[in-house]
Amino acid sequence: MATGAPSDRPGGTRLGRWYRALAIFVLNTLVALVVADGLAAAYLAWAGHGPAPAPAATPAGGTETREQVIQRLADLNHTVYGNRAQFFPGMSAVDIRQLLVDTLDTYLGGFVYEPYAQFRERPHKSRFVNVDPGGFRWGRRRGPWPPEPTAINVFVFGGSTTFGYGLPDDETVPSHLADLLADRAGGRRVAVYNFGRGYYFSTQERTLFERLLAQGFVPDVAIFLDGLNDFYNLAGDPEFTSRLAHLMEEEQTGKQTAGPVLELVRSTALARAASQVGARLATWRAPAPPAAGAGASVPAVDPRPGLHREHRALNGVIRRIRMNQRMVDALGALYGVQTLIVWQPVPTYKYDLRYHVFATHPLFRHEASRRGYPLIARAVARRPMGPSFVWCADIQDGVHEALYVDAIHYSPAMAGRVATCIVQGMEQASVTLRKRLDRPH
């Protein structure tokens, strides 16, 4: 009796069965990874982190256009942040969604290279969010670039809370500040420039200030709004330092340090979510230090692993702030610029979280501010930082209102409160609205 070929028998050869099993396994794994990556992307959007800023117009390997990605994320965020309407009573639901679209468009546009400071927001024009090619965001009473010599020019430096993520141009802290200063300028023109940039912390702001001075752009007043991102960045390196280091290594050696596959993996929502969750788990291991007050102290060494290392890093941030303040004040004195360092409010310090609409959204590396702020409060109480340092961190203490449009960024009302605190600090520090040449220095 003739027998069929091995491939004709049910089940085929052993090699064929192994091949089919492997193919099914690989296919199921890929499907699972795609689903997990989608869930991670939704989680990041819910958490207020969204996609990683990147200059690419479309997602790696994706088929959607940038506009389609923005519209999809706007729909998702409009659902997640549907109660944002309470922050913008004068805006329609259509306008609020457009604000989300414009914000996401800016965020997804990524950053462009900035000498010395490393990066900045890409120039952008839209209805609610506009970034000037000069490197600042538009706002109320904005001036031309270069600044008009006859105007009283105020430069405001900071991170994304200063830039005003989630806010229209005319509701940011610098925009509110412009109106308050105009009322006190005695008829002289005041131009406020918003140099807030995503991820920036005090060292980058000081570097940007130096570069602007060296280019001949000398303001009459320079204000630095700091706190949140300095504790976010415990190591003290700008956000994309490791990427730039890899690029330089590849350029110099001709070898890829990570490889395209690894870079692709790192760019996925799943990898970014895992990194953020890992960072959050690390912060949960360390409790917040006791509140400032008589007898309050933090042990030099804690028996739990990692706490002593973090405690040293937090104190390193305080030393960094003091150093940058001295350097900024020295530059100001040299160029005749009045300088002010403002310690900003954050949701993790003296804010009743029952009124925080997004209190359940994870803060990840921003959790460090929960422990860092009590430390710097005690440090400043023990050794004041002088008249150029303004403490605005507790302006939300006892305020029973929703003050944040997401996990960390200010609402219009909160931006106004911060601006008011800055003006009060200017008055206490005798910062005047006069031209540099009108003042003896």
**DSSP letters along 156-223, please?**
EEESHHHHTTTS-GGGSHHHHHHHHHHTTTTT--EEEEEEE-TT--HHHHHHHHHHHHHTT---SEEE
| Single-letter code of the amino acid located at 167 | L
Q: Left (φ > 0), alpha (ψ -120 to 50) or beta: where does 430 sit?
A: left
CATH number at 135 reads 3.40.50.1110
- Which pLDDT score, from 0 to 100, does residue 27 have? 80
The 10 Å Cβ neighbour count of residue 421 is 21
| Helix orientation angle between 269-284 and 14-47, rounded to the nearest 10 degrees | 60
- Confidence class for position 22, pLDDT limits 50, 70, 90: confident
Nearest to 201 by CA among 104, 111, 119, 106: 119
User: What is the residue-averaged pLDDT of the chain?
Assistant: 83
Percent of the chain at pLDDT above 90? 57
Paired sense of beta strands 389-391 and 338-343, if any: parallel
The answer to whether residue 42 scores a pLDDT higher than 60 is no
- Confidence class for position 348, pLDDT limits 50, 70, 90: very high
- Which pLDDT score, from 0 to 100, does residue 295 have? 36
Are 423 and 185 within 8 A, CB to CB?
no
Q: Which two tokens stand for residue 94?
A: 């259509």
Nearest to 175 by CA among 196, 160, 159, 193: 193
- Which pLDDT score, from 0 to 100, does residue 267 have? 55
- Confidence class for position 51, pLDDT limits 50, 70, 90: very low
Residue 50 lies in a domain: no
Are 103 and 112 within 8 A, CB to CB?
no
How many residues comprise the chain? 441
Domain count across the chain? 1
Are 202 and 339 within 8 A, CB to CB?
no
Residue 72 lies in a domain: no
**Separation of alpha carbons 51 and 266, rounded Å:** 12
The residues, any chain, with a CB within 8 Å of residue 427's CB and separated by 6 or more, are none
Residue 58 lies in a domain: no
Nearest to 159 by CA among 245, 77, 80, 231: 231
Q: Which two tokens stand for residue 21?
A: 């099993």
**Separation of alpha carbons 406 and 415, rounded Å:** 13
The residues, any chain, with a CB within 8 Å of residue 430's CB and separated by 6 or more, are 387
Q: Please compute the mean of the pLDDT values over residues 84-112 and round it to a whole number.
A: 90
Q: Please compute the mean of the pLDDT values over residues 391-398 and round it to a whole number.
A: 98
The residue written with tokens 């009473």 in the block is 141
**Separation of alpha carbons 395 and 194, rounded Å:** 22
Residue 39 lies in a domain: no
- Confidence class for position 296, pLDDT limits 50, 70, 90: very low
Q: At 72, phi and psi to the nearest 5?
A: -65, -45
User: Which has more pLDDT, 207 or 303?
Assistant: 207
The answer to whether residue 91 scores a pLDDT higher than 70 is yes
- Which pLDDT score, from 0 to 100, does residue 137 have? 98
List helix spans (H) across 62-193: 66-80, 93-108, 160-163, 173-182
- Which pLDDT score, from 0 to 100, does residue 114 have? 95
Nearest to 235 by CA among 321, 327, 317, 158: 317
- Confidence class for position 38, pLDDT limits 50, 70, 90: low
- Which pLDDT score, from 0 to 100, does residue 366 have? 94
The answer to whether residue 49 scores a pLDDT higher than 90 is no
Residue 96 lies in a domain: no
- Which pLDDT score, from 0 to 100, does residue 292 have? 40
- Confidence class for position 80, pLDDT limits 50, 70, 90: low
Percent of the chain at pLDDT above 70? 75
Is the pTM for the entire model greater than 0.85? Answer: no
- Which pLDDT score, from 0 to 100, does residue 60 have? 44
Q: Which two tokens stand for residue 134?
A: 């000069």
Are 332 and 338 within 8 A, CB to CB?
yes
Paired sense of beta strands 111-114 and 389-391, if any: unpaired
Residue 3 lies in a domain: no
DSSP, collapsed to helix, strand or coil, labels residue 401 as: coil
- Which pLDDT score, from 0 to 100, does residue 54 have? 37
DSSP, collapsed to helix, strand or coil, labels residue 87 as: helix
The answer to whether residue 23 scores a pLDDT higher than 90 is no
| Single-letter code of the amino acid located at 67 | E
Are 433 and 441 within 8 A, CB to CB?
no
- Which pLDDT score, from 0 to 100, does residue 58 have? 41
**Separation of alpha carbons 319 and 186, rounded Å:** 39
- Confidence class for position 411, pLDDT limits 50, 70, 90: very high
How confident is the model over 297-309, as pLDDT tens digits? 334 444 455 567 8
Sign of CA dihedral 155, 111, 405, 47: negative
**Separation of alpha carbons 254 and 248, rounded Å:** 10
The answer to whether residue 351 scores a pLDDT higher than 70 is yes
- Confidence class for position 310, pLDDT limits 50, 70, 90: confident
How confident is the model over 226-261, as pLDDT tens digits? 999 999 999 999 999 998 888 888 888 876 555 555
- Which pLDDT score, from 0 to 100, does residue 234 have? 94
**Residue 399, domain extent:** 113-438
| Single-letter code of the amino acid located at 344 | Q
Residue 77 lies in a domain: no
Q: Left (φ > 0), alpha (ψ -120 to 50) or beta: where does 79 sit?
A: alpha
Q: HSE of 164 in the Cβ direction (CA atoms, 13 Å)?
A: 33
Q: Please compute the mean of the pLDDT values over residues 7-18 and round it to a whole number.
A: 65
Residue 42 lies in a domain: no
- Which pLDDT score, from 0 to 100, does residue 322 have? 97
